[in-house]
Amino acid sequence: MDAGFFRRWLTTAALAVEREADRLTELDSAIGDADHGSNMRRGTAAVTAALDKEGPATPGAVLLVAGRTLVSTVGGAAGPLFGTLLRRTGKALGDAERVGGEELRQALATGVEAVAQLGGAAPGDKTMLDALRPAVEALPDAAAAARAAARGAEATVPLRARKGRASYLGERSEGHMDPGAASATLLFEALAEVTADA
Protein backbone atom coordinates (compact mmCIF):
# COMPACT_ATOMS: atom_id res chain seq x y z
CA MET A 1 0.00 0.00 0.00
CA ASP A 2 1.55 3.27 -1.13
CA ALA A 3 0.66 6.94 -0.64
CA GLY A 4 -1.91 6.75 -3.45
CA PHE A 5 -3.71 3.92 -1.65
CA PHE A 6 -3.83 5.92 1.58
CA ARG A 7 -5.14 8.99 -0.21
CA ARG A 8 -7.88 6.89 -1.83
CA TRP A 9 -8.73 5.45 1.60
CA LEU A 10 -9.19 8.86 3.22
CA THR A 11 -10.99 10.34 0.21
CA THR A 12 -13.40 7.37 0.22
CA ALA A 13 -13.93 7.88 3.97
CA ALA A 14 -14.69 11.57 3.35
CA LEU A 15 -17.33 10.61 0.76
CA ALA A 16 -18.87 8.17 3.27
CA VAL A 17 -19.00 10.87 5.95
CA GLU A 18 -20.62 13.25 3.45
CA ARG A 19 -23.26 10.60 2.72
CA GLU A 20 -23.84 9.72 6.37
CA ALA A 21 -23.47 13.17 7.95
CA ASP A 22 -27.17 13.57 8.70
CA ARG A 23 -27.30 10.14 10.38
CA LEU A 24 -24.21 10.97 12.46
CA THR A 25 -25.83 14.23 13.57
CA GLU A 26 -29.05 12.40 14.38
CA LEU A 27 -27.11 9.96 16.59
CA ASP A 28 -25.35 12.89 18.24
CA SER A 29 -28.57 14.82 18.81
CA ALA A 30 -29.77 11.99 21.09
CA ILE A 31 -26.71 11.96 23.37
CA GLY A 32 -24.45 14.87 22.39
CA ASP A 33 -24.35 18.35 20.85
CA ALA A 34 -26.05 17.42 17.54
CA ASP A 35 -22.99 18.58 15.58
CA HIS A 36 -20.91 15.42 15.01
CA GLY A 37 -22.05 14.93 11.42
CA SER A 38 -21.48 18.55 10.38
CA ASN A 39 -18.12 18.65 12.19
CA MET A 40 -16.91 15.43 10.58
CA ARG A 41 -18.17 16.52 7.16
CA ARG A 42 -16.22 19.78 7.43
CA GLY A 43 -13.11 17.99 8.69
CA THR A 44 -12.99 15.20 6.13
CA ALA A 45 -13.67 17.64 3.27
CA ALA A 46 -10.72 19.68 4.55
CA VAL A 47 -8.60 16.52 4.61
CA THR A 48 -9.39 15.84 0.93
CA ALA A 49 -8.45 19.44 0.05
CA ALA A 50 -5.21 19.29 2.09
CA LEU A 51 -4.13 16.02 0.46
CA ASP A 52 -4.79 17.48 -3.00
CA LYS A 53 -2.78 20.59 -2.15
CA GLU A 54 0.16 19.00 -0.33
CA GLY A 55 0.46 15.69 -2.22
CA PRO A 56 2.23 13.78 0.59
CA ALA A 57 4.58 11.14 -0.83
CA THR A 58 4.42 8.35 1.78
CA PRO A 59 1.59 6.56 3.64
CA GLY A 60 2.83 8.03 6.94
CA ALA A 61 2.88 11.54 5.51
CA VAL A 62 -0.68 11.14 4.17
CA LEU A 63 -1.92 10.23 7.66
CA LEU A 64 0.07 13.03 9.32
CA VAL A 65 -1.48 15.64 6.99
CA ALA A 66 -4.94 14.18 7.52
CA GLY A 67 -4.58 14.03 11.29
CA ARG A 68 -3.26 17.58 11.54
CA THR A 69 -6.14 18.82 9.37
CA LEU A 70 -8.79 17.07 11.47
CA VAL A 71 -7.40 18.55 14.69
CA SER A 72 -7.56 22.07 13.23
CA THR A 73 -10.98 21.82 11.53
CA VAL A 74 -13.23 19.48 13.54
CA GLY A 75 -14.89 20.93 16.61
CA GLY A 76 -15.54 19.14 19.89
CA ALA A 77 -13.71 16.01 20.98
CA ALA A 78 -13.87 14.31 17.57
CA GLY A 79 -11.13 16.44 15.99
CA PRO A 80 -8.43 15.74 18.59
CA LEU A 81 -9.44 12.07 18.88
CA PHE A 82 -9.59 11.20 15.16
CA GLY A 83 -6.64 13.51 14.51
CA THR A 84 -4.59 11.71 17.16
CA LEU A 85 -5.55 8.33 15.69
CA LEU A 86 -4.26 9.27 12.23
CA ARG A 87 -1.21 11.25 13.38
CA ARG A 88 0.06 8.55 15.71
CA THR A 89 -0.58 5.88 13.06
CA GLY A 90 1.29 7.99 10.50
CA LYS A 91 4.19 8.53 12.88
CA ALA A 92 4.38 4.78 13.55
CA LEU A 93 4.59 4.09 9.80
CA GLY A 94 7.58 6.43 9.50
CA ASP A 95 9.04 7.21 6.07
CA ALA A 96 8.29 3.87 4.37
CA GLU A 97 7.09 4.34 0.79
CA ARG A 98 4.97 1.18 0.94
CA VAL A 99 3.48 -0.65 3.91
CA GLY A 100 1.96 -4.10 4.32
CA GLY A 101 -1.21 -5.10 6.10
CA GLU A 102 0.54 -6.23 9.26
CA GLU A 103 2.52 -2.97 9.46
CA LEU A 104 -0.71 -1.00 9.12
CA ARG A 105 -2.34 -3.10 11.86
CA GLN A 106 0.54 -2.45 14.26
CA ALA A 107 0.62 1.27 13.45
CA LEU A 108 -3.15 1.62 13.90
CA ALA A 109 -2.90 -0.23 17.22
CA THR A 110 -0.44 2.47 18.33
CA GLY A 111 -2.92 5.13 17.18
CA VAL A 112 -5.80 3.49 19.06
CA GLU A 113 -3.73 3.37 22.27
CA ALA A 114 -3.04 7.10 21.89
CA VAL A 115 -6.79 7.74 21.52
CA ALA A 116 -7.48 5.69 24.66
CA GLN A 117 -4.91 7.71 26.63
CA LEU A 118 -6.15 11.06 25.32
CA GLY A 119 -9.79 10.34 26.09
CA GLY A 120 -9.17 8.24 29.19
CA ALA A 121 -11.61 5.67 27.81
CA ALA A 122 -11.68 1.89 27.71
CA PRO A 123 -13.75 -0.59 25.69
CA GLY A 124 -17.29 -0.67 27.04
CA ASP A 125 -17.35 3.07 27.87
CA LYS A 126 -19.56 3.75 24.80
CA THR A 127 -16.98 5.60 22.72
CA MET A 128 -15.24 5.27 19.35
CA LEU A 129 -12.88 2.77 21.00
CA ASP A 130 -15.69 0.22 20.99
CA ALA A 131 -15.45 0.19 17.19
CA LEU A 132 -11.72 0.91 16.82
CA ARG A 133 -10.31 -1.85 19.02
CA PRO A 134 -12.11 -4.83 17.41
CA ALA A 135 -11.51 -3.39 13.92
CA VAL A 136 -7.75 -3.18 14.44
CA GLU A 137 -7.67 -6.66 15.97
CA ALA A 138 -9.34 -8.03 12.82
CA LEU A 139 -6.71 -6.54 10.50
CA PRO A 140 -4.97 -7.14 8.15
CA ASP A 141 -8.28 -8.50 6.73
CA ALA A 142 -9.91 -5.16 5.87
CA ALA A 143 -13.37 -6.64 5.22
CA ALA A 144 -13.29 -8.41 8.60
CA ALA A 145 -12.13 -5.16 10.22
CA ALA A 146 -15.10 -3.27 8.75
CA ARG A 147 -17.50 -5.93 10.04
CA ALA A 148 -15.86 -5.88 13.48
CA ALA A 149 -16.13 -2.08 13.65
CA ALA A 150 -19.83 -2.23 12.71
CA ARG A 151 -20.49 -4.88 15.37
CA GLY A 152 -18.56 -2.80 17.92
CA ALA A 153 -20.60 0.31 17.08
CA GLU A 154 -23.85 -1.69 17.32
CA ALA A 155 -22.74 -3.00 20.71
CA THR A 156 -22.64 0.58 22.06
CA VAL A 157 -26.44 0.92 21.74
CA PRO A 158 -27.41 -0.71 25.08
CA LEU A 159 -24.40 0.67 26.97
CA ARG A 160 -24.48 3.54 29.45
CA ALA A 161 -21.88 6.16 28.48
CA ARG A 162 -19.01 6.51 30.94
CA LYS A 163 -16.95 9.06 29.01
CA GLY A 164 -17.56 12.22 27.03
CA ARG A 165 -20.59 14.43 26.78
CA ALA A 166 -23.03 11.48 26.74
CA SER A 167 -21.84 10.36 30.20
CA TYR A 168 -23.70 13.34 31.75
CA LEU A 169 -26.98 11.74 30.66
CA GLY A 170 -26.58 8.62 32.81
CA GLU A 171 -29.19 6.01 31.93
CA ARG A 172 -30.68 8.27 29.24
CA SER A 173 -27.56 7.51 27.14
CA GLU A 174 -28.71 3.88 26.88
CA GLY A 175 -30.45 2.81 23.68
CA HIS A 176 -28.44 5.04 21.34
CA MET A 177 -25.39 4.25 19.19
CA ASP A 178 -22.28 6.24 19.98
CA PRO A 179 -21.70 8.69 17.08
CA GLY A 180 -17.90 8.39 17.32
CA ALA A 181 -18.14 4.61 16.99
CA ALA A 182 -20.41 5.10 13.96
CA SER A 183 -17.90 7.40 12.24
CA ALA A 184 -14.99 5.11 13.15
CA THR A 185 -16.89 2.34 11.35
CA LEU A 186 -17.05 4.50 8.21
CA LEU A 187 -13.24 4.78 8.27
CA PHE A 188 -12.84 0.99 8.25
CA GLU A 189 -15.60 0.44 5.70
CA ALA A 190 -13.73 2.85 3.42
CA LEU A 191 -10.51 0.86 3.98
CA ALA A 192 -12.32 -2.35 3.01
CA GLU A 193 -13.77 -0.71 -0.10
CA VAL A 194 -10.41 0.63 -1.30
CA THR A 195 -8.68 -2.67 -0.50
CA ALA A 196 -11.26 -4.59 -2.57
CA ASP A 197 -10.68 -2.22 -5.51
CA ALA A 198 -6.87 -2.42 -5.30
Annotate the chain with three-state secondary structure: CCHHHHHHHHHHHHHHHHHHHHHHHHHHHHHCCCCHHHHHHHHHHHHHHHHHHHCCCCHHHHHHHHHHHHHHHCCCCHHHHHHHHHHHHHHHHCCCCCCCHHHHHHHHHHHHHHHHHHHCCCCCCCCCHHHHHHHHHHCCCHHHHHHHHHHHHHCCCCCCCCCCHHHHHHHHHCCCCCHHHHHHHHHHHHHHHHHHHC
- Residue 75, pLDDT score: 80
What digits encode the pLDDT tens for the residues 135-180?
999 999 999 999 999 999 999 999 999 998 899 999 999 999 999 9
Q: What is the mean pLDDT of residues 62-81?
A: 95
User: Domain count of the chain?
Assistant: 1
Q: What is the mean pLDDT of residues 61-81?
A: 95
Give percent above pLDDT 90 in the chain. 93
pLDDT bin (cut points 50, 70, 90) of residue 50 is: very high
- Residue 161, pLDDT score: 95
Q: What is the mean pLDDT of residues 71-75?
A: 92
Give Dmax (Cα) for the chain. Answer: 48
d(CA 38, CA 132): 21
- Residue 103, pLDDT score: 98
Q: What is the mean pLDDT of residues 36-55?
A: 97
What digits encode the pLDDT tens for the residues 14-35?
999 999 999 999 999 999 999 9
d(CA 3, CA 146): 21
d(CA 53, CA 34): 31
The parent domain of residue 72 ranges over 3-197
- Residue 12, pLDDT score: 98
Q: What is the mean pLDDT of the chain?
A: 96
- Residue 37, pLDDT score: 96
What digits encode the pLDDT tens for the residues 77-88?
899 999 999 999
The CA–CA distances, whole Å, from 112 to 29, 45, 128, 135, 137 equal 25, 23, 10, 10, 11
- Reply yes or no on whether the pLDDT at 76 is more than 90: no
Q: What is the mean pLDDT of residues 113-124?
A: 95
User: Which CATH number does the domain housing residue 163 bear?
Assistant: 1.25.40.340
